[in-house]
């Protein structure tokens, strides 16, 4: 069994963040561990408060895991402050996990800013060079590269720039495109498109967290990057199609739809 570590924020409603990551790891047959960078007060309608964890506590969590348990892959999610980014980069550079998937979490679906204004450059300078794969959506790509990313041509341009900034591989997520949800993977060997379908539902809470965690799991289990992207997109698409209509806002995806079906539970 592969051992996966998520370094991210906690979502009290269970649809995104640490909770979504651990559910995704479990759905892929992996053992999940966590380093919590922030505690958020949120539900399906939005984020109301964030309490960042002291960087010393973040470092202690990382050390506790790596000093005792083999880590086959790391997924990084919400890391909202410069001091937290710096300590994560320092400890991961020391422990050198074989796979790091960086999900550049910046703004919640409700518009709450999850990355401090001065932290974007730290994320680019410190974490991008450590990343096996970075997975920005279009608004996040725009903040990283400094120009509008709203169509396929701009996605290609952005991916090339992000690779030049130090990431080993880049997956630009196209969920914000007008007429498709196609993603663009760019590596040192070139780029390729992955078709995605737009699904008519408001229940998409945690999709970015879920995709990046699925990618970490699939890469840890030995899939080559293009196949990992294909399988991870298929997993997320199914989870969205069977999303849970929970709460008054944007409900979560169904991380365990296949397992529930096998167990005979009704959705």
- Residues identified as active-site: 173, 204, 206-209
Q: Tokens for 142? A: 């725009």
3-state helix, strand and coil shares in percent for the chain, rounded to the nearest 5: 40, 20, 40
How many of the other CB atoms lie within 10 Å of CB of 242?
A: 18
Token digits of residue 185:
């993977």
Q: Could you tell me where the beta strands, DSSP code E, fall in the chain? A: 3-11, 31-43, 46-52, 73-76, 100-102, 133-134, 170-172, 183-187, 190-194
* Sign of CA pseudo-dihedral 95, 97, 98, 103: negative
Round to whole Å and give the CA distance between 38 and 52.
4
Angle (CA) 86-87-93 rounded to 5° is 90
The Cα–Cα gap between 258 and 156 comes to 34
d(C-alpha 92, C-alpha 264), whole Å: 41
Asked if residues 36 and 224 have their Cβ atoms less than 8 Å apart, the reply is no
152-164 helix and 138-145 helix, angle to the nearest 10 degrees: 50
The sheet that has 190-194: what strands, in order across it? 46-52, 31-43, 3-11, 73-76, 100-102, 133-134, 170-172, 183-187, 190-194
């Amino acid at each position: 069994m592969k051992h996966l570590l998520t370094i991210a924020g906690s979502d009290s409603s269970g649809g995104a963040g640490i909770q979504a990551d651990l559910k995704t790891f479990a759905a892929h047959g992996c053992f999940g561990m966590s380093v919590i960078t922030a505690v958020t007060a949120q539900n399906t309608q939005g984020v109301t408060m964030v309490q960042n964890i002291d960087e010393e506590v973040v470092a202690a969590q990382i050390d506790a895991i790596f000093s005792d348990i083999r880590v086959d892959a790391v997924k990084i999610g919400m890391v909202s402050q410069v001091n937290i980014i710096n300590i994560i980069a320092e400890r991961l550079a020391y422990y050198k996990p074989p796979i790091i998937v960086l999900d550049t979490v910046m703004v919640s679906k409700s518009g709450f800013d999850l990355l401090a204004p001065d932290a974007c450059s730290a994320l680019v300078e410190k974490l991008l060079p450590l990343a096996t794969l970075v997975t920005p959506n279009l608004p996040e790509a725009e903040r990283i590269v400094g120009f509008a990313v709203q169509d396929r041509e701009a996605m290609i341009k952005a991916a090339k720039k992000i690779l030049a900034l130090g990431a080993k591989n880049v997956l630009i997520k196209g969920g914000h495109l007008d007429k498709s949800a196609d993603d663009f993977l760019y590596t040192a060997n070139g780029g390729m498109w992955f078709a995605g379908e737009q699904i008519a539902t408001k229940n998409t809470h945690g999709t970015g967290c879920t995709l990046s965690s699925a990618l970490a799991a699939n890469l840890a289990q030995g899939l080559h990057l293009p196949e990992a992207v294909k399988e991870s997109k298929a997993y997320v698409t199914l989870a969205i199609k069977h999303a849970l209509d929970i709460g008054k806002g944007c409900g979560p995806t169904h991380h365990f739809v296949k397992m529930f079906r096998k167990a005979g539970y009704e959705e």
